[in-house]
Homo-oligomer: A and B are copies of this chain.
Amino acid sequence: MTRTLRVELGERSYDVRIAPGAVSDLGEATARLGAVSSGVIISDETVAAHYGRAAGEALRAVGLDAPLLTFPPGEPHKTFATYGELLDAVLQCQPAIDRRSVIIALGGGVTGDLAGFVAATCLRGLRFVQCPTTLLADVDSAVGGKTGVDHAAGKNLIGAFHQPSAVVIDVQTLGTLSDAELRNGLAECVKHAVIRDADLLTFIDHGAKPFFARDVDALSELVARNVAIKAAVVAGDEREYGDRAHLNFGHTVGHAIEVDADYTLAHGSAVALGMLVESELAVGRGLLARDAADRLGDVLERLGLPVRRAGLSAERLGRLMQRDKKARAGKVRFVLPTAIGSVTVVDDVTDDALREALQRIA
């Protein structure tokens, strides 16, 4: 069964197709964009070993040249240096790329961010197709057009908004994903539930077993429900001037915890902890009922995500958050839940309040 959702962004609108085995439809999905001269597939070495060949064959089947460019896997390679190397390689492809060439991002969030940024800045903007292969990329990074790389001064500080022209999600690729990687995606699914959809939290809580068994139907529904939320948020505020910031729930504190841990903590784990701390902040201000915060903790725990972390310093996290690119004139903005399914934004959280919230997960 194929599910198709539309991301409504005027002239930048695009379809998200979710289907088992969709990697082999990549050629048709690319050709359907119209006036395509060639393709370039960008992937990390691990994903390329699994799906690079199938993707290349799918493109050649519709008559498109599609060289495969790879880089070493992992967030530590989401750098300006890797970006420069990929640009060099794309610009040296033979036959040469032109303005009708299409970049295909085959892989997880790092690949999508890197390949999307290459597409955004090659010949002043090439079209690109997102073909995510992790749950995190399926439900989060592949939709919305945020592209870029990390910098010593912070994550994602260099990049561009560049929407894909199509997103092709093959949930069968989740079969080669580790449980730890699956959890990274589940943390973002929980985030979507908390900011927009209480029913989704129940669905996730009940679905844990089939998700980890890589049940294609359960995963397809999970992905479709989450993409629908992400697409609606992005359609309402493409450039994050307003409500798109809701997607940062769990990430303000989560990013700081990630940096504090020198990125030795998985992104999903940091976000889980961040969601818990931010929920505690909400409880502390009387915005959120205690049992809602407790329920969030229970769901995260049943998914195998961490709900405890000792030794976090409010002062240090506070400083790290101030350095985040989302801070405005030094004010850190927090997305706090008011119930499961809705959030509000505040910018007056004190170090004392943060210290107290951190106590609850210590």
Contact = CB atoms under 8 A, between A and B. Distances in A.
B96 A161 contact: no
A120 B328 contact: no
Contact of A160 (B37, B124, B154, B156): B124
Contacts of A121: 117, 121, 148, 158-160
A99 interface: yes
Given A123-B157, A124-B146, A157-B122, A87 B80 contact: yes
Interface string A63-92: 000000000000000001000100110011
B160 A160 contact: yes
B329 A37 contact: yes
A153 B80 contact: no
A199 interface: no
Contacts of A120: 160
Given A157-B91, A157-B123, A158-B122, A325 B98 contact: yes
Contact of A96 (B37, B91, B159, B323): B323
A153 B90 CA distance: 10
Contacts of A37: 328-329
Contacts of A325: 98-99, 123
Contacts of A156: 124
A278 to B, nearest CB: 21
A125 interface: yes
With a 10 A CB-CB cut-off, give which of A121, A148, A154, A156 has the most chain B CB atoms.
A121
10 contacts: A37-B328, A91-B153, A96-B323, A98-B328, A117-B121, A121-B159, A122-B158, A123-B325, A124-B148, A125-B161
Interface of A: 37, 80, 84, 87-88, 91-92, 96, 98-100, 117, 120-125, 146-148, 151-154, 156-161, 239, 323, 325-329
